[in-house]
Amino acid sequence: MKRITHKYIAKNQQLILTKTFYGTFLVSDIIDSWKYSIEEGILDKESKRAILDFSNAHLSMNLKGDVEKLVHYLDSQVDYFYAYKFAIIMQKPHQVTIPFVVERMEKNFKSKTFYTKEAGMQWILK
């Protein structure tokens, strides 16, 4: 069963969204989760930082089409994701390929993959 939890953390006078994913996710699930966050007012336009924890999840995506769909969606939501920083937490070696591909694409946001939340938090606060 898939599930996503949302929580804001105040750190160094900055508000950081943390989303923790459980289960198997398709690209459509991830895009829908962001749409839901926007529609329900969970996503704050002023907060430009998020930690996405996939350590308890599995991404079922292909490296070309699905990754491009995700990046296109995030880039299309300029009010929310322009200049955004995503720290992506992945602990399974076979899973890191997807966020590494996203890191290297031209886009309006920054993303970087980390093994721990602590390392992701250090980067996101820079």
pLDDT (0 to 100) of residue 96: 81
Give burial (CB, 10 Å; 0-12/13-18/19+) of 72: exposed
Domain at 3-124, CATH from 3.40.50.10600, 1.20.58.390, 1.20.1630.10, 3.40.190.10? 3.40.50.10600
What region does 44 belong to: left with phi over 0, alpha with psi -120 to 50, or beta? beta
Task: Name the pTM for this structure.
Answer: 0.91
When the pLDDT of each residue in the chain is averaged and rounded to a whole number, the result is: 92
> Which amino acid would we find at residue 106?
E
- Domain residue limits, the chain: 3-124
Please state, for a pLDDT cut of 90, what percent of the chain lies above it. Answer: 72
Q: Residue 94 above 80 pLDDT?
A: no
What SS3 class is residue 26?
coil
